[in-house]
Homo-oligomer: A and B are copies of this chain.
Amino acid sequence: MSGTPDSKDARGVTRALAEFVVASRFDDIGAAVRHEAERSLVNWMGCALGGAHHATLDAALAALLPFAGPPQAGIIGRRERLDAPTAALLNGMSAHVLDFDDTHLRTLLHPSVPVASSLLALAEYRAAHRPLSGAEFLHAFIVGVDVECRIANAIYPTHIEQWYITGTAGVFGAAAAVGQVLGLDAVGMVSAFGIAGTQAAGLREMAGTMCKSFVHGRAAQNGMLSAIMAQSGFTSSARVIEAPRGFARVLVGDCDLGVILEGLGERWEISLNTYKPHACGVVCHPVIDGCLTVRNGHGVTPAQIAAVALRVHPLALKLTGIRAPRGGLEGKWSLYHSAAVAFCDGAAGEEQYTDARVCDPQVTAVRERVTAEADAGLREDEARIVVTLTDGRRIDVHIEHALGSVDNPMSDHDLERKFIGLAADTLPTGRAEQLIEQCWQIGALTDAAQLARLAVP
């Protein structure tokens, strides 16, 4: 891999990443990595279809449409067309708004939102004059995800105490992917990273509000524009990541930037991507699996439950510890609500995280019987659940690896079923299957924008 310096040397990390992106060849990426990228696209597209008519999207569109540019790109699952960067923003928002999108478990970054959303908008923009092939799309997607996850590896976990890591590291992923497709040279790519990095933003304080998905979509839009601006000769710092006043020091503090370049081009971060079977914070998932096991395996009904004691990784309590959520978006960040709907509904899909479900008396009655404790001896995808029934019986369940984790992944078929469920209210009959097929076949498409065309209702 030409241009990849000693991985111990963090001084030139921005430049090294830029050179890596520019020099990368699709042929060097193996079939398993490509297939994981296709799985990511299936999952991302399904989530965007599911989120397309969320109130968050309606509110954003009402505000932004009067200022939008030419009809260059569409919004997945909707009929409106607008300028490509705004389309990237909105597709990023819809793909994330259900908290159902993919997760790089090592960092809790959601890889596809910034990268796929910006690439699809660019593909649509370019379709008329120079179509972006499916192979180019897939290549740039893999590389963009690699860049954002590698940066995330260096700043996790300190960074996520305060920031949405997809909002901050994700903007580099979008810049890398779009910059590669635009054919930026290394100097241009370095500038693109600089323009992207100085816009890195997104406070965790936004949890439970429409701003959470907004921050994620902004990473797609701002990263995309960074690459486009760099192409026009817009200048920036040559070392935005590692400089004393650069991204890492300012938004994280001390961290080991050397990890960013470890194994660059040899292993791909997208191989570690995971997909959620449940529509909520990923650290809730082992608990949901456990509660479903108790409900389905032991035929337990909500009325029989006297107490539910959860033991989870400390991060699960930190991130999803909302005791009494006030609405659907907060429900996604509540272990207690997630356990309750698993018992009441036997599911934790989008329908379990509506405002109505969060306030439902039967659900809240179960929720109030749930307690949770952090256990540093557990992994993030692991949980222990003890359910005490009203007749005094006690049921113990241990979930070693939640469904959807690296060690217990969703199958391709699981992903297809999830997609079809999410698309049900949005696409005409048969279209979901067609779109899934095109995602699996993306490498053969002469125009990646074809995906966007099929996603219009």
Query: Nearest CB to that of A244 among chain B residues?
Result: B205
Instruction: State whether B59 touches A240 (Cβ < 8 A).
Output: no
CB contacts (< 8 Å) of A218 on chain B: these are: 199
The answer to the question of A259 belonging to the interface, with a C-beta cut-off of 8 Å to chain B, is no
- Give the complex CA separation of A397 and B69 in angstroms: 56
Instruction: State whether B204 touches A201 (Cβ < 8 A).
Output: no
**Contact residue among B197, B210, B225, B228 (Cβ-Cβ distance under 8 Å from A236):** B210
- Chain A 187-225 against B: per-residue CB contact (8 Å), 1 yes, 0 no? 000000011011111111110011100110010000001
**Contact residue among B194, B200, B249 (Cβ-Cβ distance under 8 Å from A211):** B194
Instruction: State whether B63 touches A232 (Cβ < 8 A).
Output: yes
Instruction: State whether B194 touches A209 (Cβ < 8 A).
Output: yes
- Chain A 97-132 against B: per-residue CB contact (8 Å), 1 yes, 0 no? 000000000000000000000000000000000000
The answer to the question of A250 belonging to the interface, with a C-beta cut-off of 8 Å to chain B, is yes
**Those of A222-277 within 8 Å (CB) of chain B:** 225, 228-229, 231-237, 239-240, 243-247, 249-250
The answer to the question of A408 belonging to the interface, with a C-beta cut-off of 8 Å to chain B, is no
The answer to the question of A72 belonging to the interface, with a C-beta cut-off of 8 Å to chain B, is yes
CB contacts (< 8 Å) of A59 on chain B: these are: 229, 232-235
- Give the complex CA separation of A239 and B195 in angstroms: 29
Instruction: State whether A72 touches B67 (Cβ < 8 A).
Output: yes
CB contacts (< 8 Å) of A60 on chain B: these are: 229, 232, 234
Instruction: State whether B233 touches A211 (Cβ < 8 A).
Output: no
The 10 tightest CB contacts between A and B, nearest first, are A63-B232, A67-B83, A205-B245, A62-B232, A63-B229, A201-B201, A162-B250, A210-B235, A67-B69, A211-B236
From residue A238, how far is it (CB to closest CB) to chain B in Å? 9
CB contacts (< 8 Å) of A234 on chain B: these are: 56, 59-60, 63, 210-211, 214
How many residues in A have their beta carbons less than 8 Å from beta carbons of B? Answer: 56
- Given contact pairs A198-B214, A199-B218, A205-B250, a sample of 10 additional A-B residue pairs in the complex whose CB atoms are under 8 Å apart: A56-B234, A60-B229, A62-B233, A66-B70, A67-B72, A68-B69, A194-B205, A198-B203, A198-B206, A206-B236
The answer to the question of A170 belonging to the interface, with a C-beta cut-off of 8 Å to chain B, is no
The answer to the question of A349 belonging to the interface, with a C-beta cut-off of 8 Å to chain B, is no
Instruction: State whether B194 touches A250 (Cβ < 8 A).
Output: no
- Give the complex CA separation of A351 and B285 in angstroms: 62
- Give the complex CA separation of A250 and B66 in angstroms: 33
- Give the complex CA separation of A203 and B209 in angstroms: 26
The answer to the question of A163 belonging to the interface, with a C-beta cut-off of 8 Å to chain B, is yes
- Give the complex CA separation of A246 and B161 in angstroms: 11
Known contacts A211-B235, A233-B59: A203-B245 contact under CB 8 Å: yes
The answer to the question of A85 belonging to the interface, with a C-beta cut-off of 8 Å to chain B, is yes
Could you list 21 A-B pairs, sorted by A, with CB under 8 Å? Answer: A59-B233, A62-B232, A62-B233, A63-B225, A63-B229, A63-B232, A66-B70, A162-B249, A163-B250, A194-B205, A195-B214, A198-B202, A199-B201, A200-B201, A203-B245, A203-B247, A205-B237, A205-B247, A206-B236, A209-B235, A211-B236
CB contacts (< 8 Å) of A67 on chain B: these are: 69-70, 72, 83-86
- Give the complex CA separation of A64 and B70 in angstroms: 12
**Those of A354-407 within 8 Å (CB) of chain B:** none
